[in-house]
Amino acid sequence: MEGSSGSAAGALLRRQLKQMQSGKDIPGISCGLVKDENIFEWEVMLMINDDCKYYGGKFDLLVPHHGVNPAMSPASPQPTDAPSP
| pLDDT digits 0-9 by tens, 7-46 | 888 888 899 889 888 877 777 788 889 899 988 888 888 7
What are the sequence ranges of the domains in the chain? 8-71
pLDDT at 75 over 80: no
Confidence of residue 81 (pLDDT cuts 50, 70, 90): low
What residues pair up with 16 in beta bridges, in sequence order? none
pLDDT at 65 over 50: yes
- Which phi and psi (to 5°) does residue 36 adopt? -55, -30
**Global pTM?**
0.63
CATH class, domain 8-71, is alpha beta
Q: How many other C-beta atoms are found inside a 10 Å radius of the C-beta of residue 70?
A: 19
Q: How far apart are CA 85 and CA 46, in angstroms?
A: 13
